[in-house]
Amino acid sequence: MAVDQLLAIPANPKKKLHLLQNAPGLNPKTITPISQHGLLHFLQSIALKSPNEPFYIFDLAGVAALFDHWSQSLPTVRPFYAVKCNPNQAILAAMAALGSNFDCASRAEIQSVLALGVSPDRIIFANPCKPESHIEFAAAVGVNLTTFDSVNEIEKIRRCHPKSALLIRIKPSDDGGARCPLGNKYGALPEEISPLLEAAKSAELPVVGVSFHIGSGATETGAYSAAIAAARGVFETAVRLGLPPMNVLNIGGGFTAGPQFEEAAVTVNSALKEYFPAELNITLMAEPGRFFAESAFTLAVNIIGKRVRGDLREYWINDGIYGSMNCILYDHATVACRPLALKSNRKNPTCGGGRMYDATVFGPTCDALDTVLTGQQLPDLEVGDWLVFPKMGAYTAAAGSNFNGFSTAAIETYVVYSEEGNGTVLD
């Protein structure tokens, strides 16, 4: 079971860069330091020498700054980065070097983390319903902490990994206005908790704690308080049933960097102080993904087609709904873009002060569903110009496909380290 203390991260930017440059999975020769507002210049340099293919820019300093912020705001809660959010090797390597643990949901995700030299006790197999072959793999490599919410799962774990410790996943009473609620699929109901704990006891599997997830991209942080209170009730139920005292609480994910996180941290800290005070010596963990990944990635796409209909400008780009922008459908995301007119207006590539037109932006596939933006204000661009999408690190390329032969997996990622972690700000 992962109980490591978070690693001490150097405060000096140069020391942080050195730490990350030497992390397993990162190549120092491919990490480009850039100035605080140097993203525009770097984007231009890559776009001008690229074969007009889409590409990502990943800012290591942005992730490092967010890791510091997490440690300061939720100092007692150990982050287990949700690999499903963005399994790009560069961010996995950065998170490992910074001291994060990992939330994995499959054999492949476990393998990708172990390949970086991460100890298996820094991984939770946080999928309440797992294929038996994946459970057997976890047993073989020493990933010994997992979640469950059904009797059937208890039986699978008993057969395939009898040495595993368990967290019972409960359904929160409130999904916090999440973009992607999870309670309809996962989490034990209140009336199911006692029977599940008794079933685990009969199977001689140790239930060491409680897990919940209010949903991805939550907006109403009060849901954390209610779920933490419910978790304390489960701890007490376990004692009444004669189980050994629990010592782990996993508060899941749902965190988004910015004002939502600030509010969530206050709510979580207050609830933990009330229901799980320090003297209980509980191991506290969470499964943030979006918090770390979203703002650290910027996507640049090339305009491959144009149509003019009166004052309407229609553009086709070489990534779309079946690629990185699947987040519009599956993550209920709202994306935004800025022009980078490197072909038609190189002297003023951001087109500042120019006339704007109503525009529609289509993806490259033959499906009309592949529409990325409508009613967008954009200048009069040409084929060969670029559009830049910030905050494209969460549930984007991770869920992309190869539909129509456009491969999301083929999109290259360039790694930068910006001053003050602001390289992803396009000014």
The catalytic site residues sit at 366
Q: Checking DSSP bridges between strand 123-125 and strand 357-362, what pairing results, if any?
A: unpaired
Phi, psi of 5 (to 5 degrees): -75, 150
What does the H/E/C string look like for 118-187?
A: CCHHHEEECCCCCCHHHHHHHHHHCCCEEEECCHHHHHHHHHHCCCCEEEEEECCCCCCCCCECCCCCCC
Sign (positive/negative) of CA torsion 277, 278, 284, 286? positive
| Contact by Cβ (8 Å): 415, 58 | yes
- Closest listed residue to residue 417, CA positions, set 25, 38, 7: 38
Rounded distance between C-alpha atoms, residue 143 and residue 146, angstroms? 8
Angle at 77 between CA 74 and CA 82, to 5 degrees: 105
Angle, helix 89-98 to helix 13-21, in steps of 10 degrees: 120
Query: Could you tell me which residues are beta bridge partners of residue 377?
Result: 358
d(C-alpha 10, C-alpha 140), whole Å: 35
Q: DSSP state, 111?
A: H
- Is residue 299 within 8 A of residue 319, CB to CB? The reply is yes
Burial of 366 (0-12, 13-18, 19+ CB in 10 A): exposed
Q: Are 32 and 45 in contact (CB under 8 A)?
A: no
Q: Where are the alpha helices (DSSP H) in 175-252?
A: 190-202, 222-240
